[in-house]
Amino acid sequence: MYVCSDSTEPVFEKQVLPRRGGCVYGNLFAPCLEVVKDDGTCGCFPFDPSLEEVATAVRKALVPSIHGRWERCFYGAVDCCSHFMNGNYTVQVNSQCPPTFDGWSCWQPAQNGTVARSVCPEFAYSNSGPTCHHFSHKQCHPQGAWELQTDYSTCSITPRLLRRYRYYIGVLTFSVVTSFPAICIFIFYKRLRVTRVALHRNLLIAIVLRNIIVVISRNVIYIDELTNAGETIMSQNSVACRVLAFAERLAGNAVFVCMMLEGIYLHRLIVAVFKQKLSMKILYCIGVC
């Protein structure tokens, strides 16, 4: 690797033509990273992860969770250039778009007038990305030239999350509607006003309240966060938003508390069955028979 600075003097022993903001390797020009060296001068280094100066500077500028991404992007570009874009890959002249690298993905030759697709790279996501593959698209024009802009909008997981939340809201709404008759029966029938049924009723009420709060939260906050490109309710972090989040956690805990009370009650019923001591003679007789 050759390194050049903004001055006219080469940094390494081999002559590399310097240009402000970039480095020239033979007849190729590439952008470079300006790094302050130990002696206080600035050097222009190519974006090569194997150079310690570059690796250190880039890691300081990035959050730790994405330290390895720019290295993988670099080596992906090198692999694309060396295997497909260096002339070793056969391209049908005037009938195919040539291989290209758009900064994220390597696109192999495609027939004119078609739309090529490629698995969305990890660089399209702030986190690890979805477990199943999404595909990006790039138009190959009839003239044999690629569309300059690659369509990475299909890599977004927003449509899937919207479908998931709307399905979740629909299921919870159906659960709330069908649970109301049972709650009314438990409340208005006097014969059912016993401890065991009261525990069932309280658990059902807690589940319904929790579902109602979750429906409001997903519909008002989560869907707004996914569909609103501007300032969202979640980003505002208002008092009402925080109260709703607290109520959702409280309702979820109430469900588990009601389940715990039912478990304690059933445990006491089971213990009460065996509370009376049985005569050992009776047990011996049962065993002999």
- What is the pLDDT confidence band of residue 9, given thresholds at 50, 70 and 90? very low
pTM strictly above 0.75? no
Q: What is the distance between the alpha carbons of residues 54 and 60, in angstroms, rounded to a whole number?
A: 10
**Can you say whether residue 189 is alpha, beta or left, with left for phi > 0 and alpha for psi between -120 and 50 degrees?**
beta
Three-state SS at 4: strand
Domain definitions of the chain by residue range: 1-61, 158-273
Burial class (CB in 10 A: 0-12, 13-18, 19+), 107: buried
- What is the pLDDT confidence band of residue 11, given thresholds at 50, 70 and 90? very low
Render pLDDT for 58-69 as a digit per residue (tens, 0 to 9). Answer: 777 777 767 777
Mean pLDDT of 67-92: 73
Render pLDDT for 15-45 as a digit per residue (tens, 0 to 9). Answer: 333 344 455 545 555 667 777 767 766 677 7
Render pLDDT for 157-200 as a digit per residue (tens, 0 to 9). Answer: 888 888 889 999 999 999 999 999 988 888 888 887 788 888 88
pLDDT at 230: 78
pLDDT at 74: 79
pLDDT at 102: 84
- Written as one string, the DSSP assignment of 39-94 is TS-EEEEES-TTSHHHHHHHHHHS-GGGTTHHHHHHHHHHHHHHHTTTS-S---TT
CA distance readout (Å), 271 to 200, 257, 282: 20, 21, 20
